[in-house]
Amino acid sequence: MTSLTPIIVLTVFVAIFGVGIVVVSALLGPKKNWTKAKKIPYESGLPGQERKETKIPVKFYLTAILFIVFDIEVVFMYPWALTYTDAGLGGYIFGAMAVFVGLFIFGLIWEIKSKALEWD
């Protein structure tokens, strides 16, 4: 248990420091007076125009996000596969990775059922 003490202390310190920075900046920072004129985007003196359509279909973004998620899964599995036999905690490490892979398989099944991977 003593080997986790520095990690716990660092985690608590980072959490307190992060919250402290946000609170101090909110208390001491300048107060903004947002008028209607300041909320309007400025584009060379012309009023901004909203565009309703996008040039790239949303399916491309969804495919990119899914690729990143499953690519990160492989990145986590590679070091696990290399150190599995050297760890000496066979059952625990295998169970943890089985839960990890199970969650991603569940996610893949959900994506297939929700038709997120179809291009029609």
CATH number at residue 54: 1.20.58
Are residues 11 and 4 in contact, defined by beta-carbon separation less than 8 angstroms? no
Phi, psi of 43 (to 5 degrees): -130, 85
User: Do the domain assignments include residue 30?
Assistant: yes
Whether residue 80 is contained in a domain is answered as yes
Structure tokens at 42: 């400025």
**Position 58 in a domain:** yes
pLDDT, tens digit only, all 120 positions of the chain: 568 888 899 999 999 999 999 999 989 988 877 787 777 766 566 665 666 666 777 778 888 888 888 888 888 888 887 777 676 666 677 788 888 889 888 988 988 888 877 776
Q: Are 83 and 97 in contact (CB under 8 A)?
A: no
Integer Cα distance of 67 and 74 in angstroms: 11
Collapse the DSSP code of 16 into the 3-class scheme (helix H, G, I; strand E, B; otherwise coil) and give the result. Answer: helix
In a domain, 39, yes or no: no
> Positive or negative CA dihedral for 64, 65, 70, 74?
positive
Domain total in the chain? 1
Whole-angstrom distance, CA of residue 44 vs CA of residue 36: 18
In Å, how far are 14, 110, 111 from 106, measured between CA atoms?
33, 6, 9
Note down the domain range covering 77: 2-34+50-113
Kindly state whether residue 44 falls inside one of the protein's structural domains. no
Asked whether residue 70 is assigned to any structural domain, the reply reads: yes
pLDDT score, position 18? 96
Q: Is 105 domain-assigned?
A: yes
* 22 lies in some domain: yes
pTM for this predicted structure:
0.46
